[in-house]
Amino acid sequence: MKGVAEPVHDLGLAMGLTTTEVDAIVAGLGREPNHVELAVFAGMWSEHCSYKSTAGLLSTLPTSGPAVLAGPGAHAGCVDVGDGWAVAFKIESHNHPSAVEPYQGAATGVGGILRDVVAQGGRPVAVMDALCFGDPASAATRWLADGIVSGIGAYGNSYGVANVGGLTEFDPRYEGNPLVNALAAGLVRHDGMRTAAATGPGNVVLYVGATTGRDGILGAAFASEELADEDDRTASRSHVQVGDPFMGKKLMEAVLAFGDGLIACQDLGACGLACATTEMAAAGGTGMDLHLEAVPQREAGMDPMEVLLSESQERFLLVVTPGSVTSAVEHFRTAGVHVAVCGQVTDTGRLRAFHDGSLVVDVPAALVADGAPPRRWEAVPASPARPYPDFSPAPDPGAALLRLLSRPGIADLSRVYRRYDHTVGNRTVRGPGQGDAAVLKLPGSHAGFALTLVGRGDGCAIDPRRGVQALLGEAVRNLACVGASALAITDGINAGSPDDPVEFWRLAEMIGGLGDGLRALGLAVTGGNCSLYNESPSGAIPPTPMIGMIGRIDDVRTIPAPTLTAGDDLFLAGSLPAAATHSAYGAMMTGSLDGPAPDVDLAADERLAAFLVRQSSLGRVSAAKDAGRGGALTALAKLCIRSGVGADVALDLGARPDWRLFGESSGIAWVAADPAHGRGLEEAAAAAGVPFTRAGTVGAGHLAVEGACRLALSDLASAFSGTAVAA
């Protein structure tokens, strides 16, 4: 822009802004910003905070539904689960911090998402984690995995929240850029949900929690950059926050116990005070005056920019009525957390920050919070998917099954989740290793809710639209297998750099496919996270969606058991694939990262889910397990391993038994039932339009498929536990 001094542009570029954005700041202010103001804009207009590359894409997603009480824009989405209760839940990423400082990066990722739930008024009852690593044999992967798993466990266990499930993937394309997505869920009464909107000029701004330090300054901008070489990673460690779960626990209890005179509440996460003040004021249509010298600081000599942009953990900003200030201060001091009166709500529409009486920031709150110019990127379609190279069926299906069971992504993850406490809080009915969805009960009720977290990049790398829809179908089946009806999702979108036209096309296709899939299922997204610039010197990650889905259960006493019972009949619901599909089996046999697109039939998944939920509520289903990665035989093997009991099965194997046994397709699940319920299940399945075949019986000491394989349970268990998971 004519008249803008070059040093302002140079400083803006050094902070991660573009020339266009600096021009927009000058135009919006009607003057050049000072260096503190420019830093505030740099943090808030980073991709991490502004979503300037994805807001338009995300706006196409369905966000409302009968069960949705709060959607995108809230601290955490809220879903009605009955009896006057809502579940506040959300997923967030901490990929870049975890890549350079795995322990603290993962720990503070958990802490941050827990504070989102608390800010919404929810008491956290569960966390889940979705982790993607590179080559499990590499020293770097083992270092990252150990630090990340340790950080997740240490924070959650110390905080006192149950870790109820998740996923861990290994793929060489994540080498150097692991994905760490954390989901948190909390219970809140319908009338207890909170807002971030700072209303009422004259109301008082309170700072509560830990002291402010220099950790994490401009961490949001760091999270919006590609990961570079090792020297740059070492230098980036100063951007990573340091967590204190014990302070987090005290702060949670203090914030949830405080209500008299509370107007608004927001946790201090990315961009710290700069974010909370501008977003709260913009949401309320007000302004805010902030006195930085009043902010409790743990390091001497912090300058205004450092105080405003610090991302120190375990902090909240509250807006309270003037009459409640004295009692609020006493409440938080008694709770053992820092509290300070640091400002007030105004009618100016501006954030004004003062330091020792000097005005250091004077900017329109809405311009900072919502004014980032959208980024427009070129999209170029990726090369079409190619079929697998021709290969003959595995000569020994039993040997192929053992190989699949030992592959990372399928094999036993108990070495990961045994480091987490999944029973604290006494609400967990089903936890890790007990099925593909967690189940928790509601207070004072037999009703409950289920959570599942699915994610996979290999299918989306081939076809991002179909890949994300296949994950939606998997999540629906996971919930149905514990008798839960799907209500809504929270999503984590992980992608490469949008300035690469192919990567931006993949991102757009992934989000577009998610929207189409949600509309087909009648579900909404309540919020989530979009993480871009997930690239290392070795290249971009596969486009990787993480889908957290919640479902309601009317009575947790009727849900299918996690294990098989000897003497039950075994049924196959759905139709096995007869031709090549994208699958772990195909990748194993060919060594190819390419292959056909994932199979998607959301209507079949929906029919199967409705059937399972209804029959479970009637007490007809003893156990259920959906067929996901590795296909139907792999799913049955895992169910037998978990149960300590085998099965004899006869299936129509067709011309390519390997695809029937190991191909991955929609709408498939194993169902075990007492023989007395067999006829009723068959009739109900026919009425529901679900193929349903009596396949065998439960009770052997082996898993046998007529004409294909016969394997001892001990051999299956040995293969399943022999994974190279680094944890």
Active site residues: 48, 94
3-state SS, residue 562: coil
3-state SS, residue 408: coil
The pair of three-digit structure tokens given for residue 419, joined into one six-digit string: 């480091």
**Amino acid present at 564:** L
For residue 362, give the DSSP letter: E
The span from the CA of 541 to the CA of 557, in Å, is 42
For the CA atoms of 331, 74, 467, 495, what is the dihedral angle to 10 degrees? -80
The span from the CA of 335 to the CA of 321, in Å, is 20
The span from the CA of 347 to the CA of 11, in Å, is 31
Q: Answer for the pair 487, 550: CB distance below 8 angstroms, yes or no.
A: yes
Distant-in-sequence, close-in-space partners of 419: CB < 8 Å, separation ≥ 6: 149, 150, 153, 727
- b/e sequence 30-55, b meaning 16+ C-beta within 10 Å: eebbbbbbbbbbbbbbbbbbbbbbbe
The pair of three-digit structure tokens given for residue 97, joined into one six-digit string: 């911090």
Helices (runs of H) and strands (runs of E) counted in the chain: 26, 28
Closest CA to 552 of 482, 630, 464: 482
Length of the chain equals 727
Closest CA to 307 of 322, 320, 296: 296
Q: Answer for the pair 438, 126: CB distance below 8 angstroms, yes or no.
A: yes
**Amino acid present at 396:** D
Closest CA to 513 of 475, 477, 460, 551: 460
**Amino acid present at 425:** G
Distant-in-sequence, close-in-space partners of 38: CB < 8 Å, separation ≥ 6: 8, 11, 12, 15, 17, 22, 25
The span from the CA of 227 to the CA of 224, in Å, is 9
The pair of three-digit structure tokens given for residue 23, joined into one six-digit string: 């021009």
- Other beta carbons within 10 angstroms of residue 107's beta carbon come to 34
Report how far apart, in Å, the C-alpha atoms of 553 and of each of 65, 86, 254, 437, 486 are: 18, 13, 31, 12, 9
- List the beta bridge partners of residue 125: none
